[in-house]
Amino acid sequence: MTLPLPPPPGQPDPGEARTNLTLAAADGPELRADAARNRALLMDAASRLLARCGAADLTMESVAAAAGVGKGTVFRRFKDRTGLLIALLDHREALLQAAFLSGPPPMGPDASAAERLHAFGPALMRHERDHHELILASRADPLRTFEVPAQRLRHSHVTLLLRQARATGDPELLAYTLLGSIDAPLVHHLTCERGMSADQLEQGWHDLLHRYGVER
Reported as a single tens digit per residue, the pLDDT across 42-53 is 888 888 887 788
Please answer whether residues 165 and 19 qualify as being in contact, where contact means their C-beta atoms are separated by less than 8 angstroms.
Answer: no
Res 147 pLDDT > 60: yes
C-alpha distance from residue 188 to each of 68, 106, 115, 176, 185 (Å):
35, 26, 26, 18, 5
Confidence of residue 116 (pLDDT cuts 50, 70, 90): very high
pLDDT of residue 31: 56
* pLDDT more than 70, % of the chain: 85
Q: Residue 121 — very low, low, confident or very high, per pLDDT cuts 50/70/90?
A: very high
pLDDT value, residue 181: 94
pLDDT(213) > 80: yes
pLDDT level of residue 117 (50, 70, 90 thresholds): very high
Residue 110 has pLDDT above 90, yes or no: yes
**What is the overall mean pLDDT for the chain?**
82
pLDDT at 132: 80
Q: By mean pLDDT, which of 17-21, 34-38, 59-63, 165-169 is the weakest? A: 17-21
Closest of 155, 147, 120, 184 to residue 3, by C-alpha: 147
Question: Could you tell me which residue, 13 or 167, shows the higher pLDDT?
Answer: 167
8 A C-beta contact, residue 111 and residue 119: yes
Q: Is the pTM of this model over 0.85?
A: no
